[in-house]
Amino acid sequence: MELVMDGEVMKENLEQNKLTESWLYSEFKKRNLTQQNVLYAVLSANGNMYVDTYENHIHLPIDEE
């Protein structure tokens, strides 16, 4: 599930999955990031969050679940 796309928080996706923006920001903080650093963030089915920053843009992301 996409949480951030092109730097924009996907509020509907958070709400549909009973997550809050404050939860998302706390996850960023754990990774020493802010929303301004995050290009893309996704929550996988196993509960892990994967983040791509503007500084480390992944050109061909690979899903390894």
- What would the 3-class secondary structure string for 14-48 be? HHHCCCCHHHHHHHHHHCCCCHHHEEEEEECCCCC
Tell me the pLDDT band of 61, cut-offs 50, 70 and 90. low
pLDDT number for residue 57: 55
- How many other β-carbons are positioned within 10 Å of the β-carbon of residue 2? 12
If residue 8 lies in a helix (H) or strand (E), which one and from where to where? strand 8-9
List the chain domain ranges: 2-53
CATH 3.75.10.10 is right for the domain spanning 2-53: no
Q: For residue 22, how far is the Cα from the chain centroid?
A: 13
Per-residue model confidence as pLDDT tens digits over 10-57: 999 999 999 999 999 999 999 999 988 899 999 998 888 999 998 765
Q: Which helix (H) or strand (E) holds 52?
A: strand 49-53
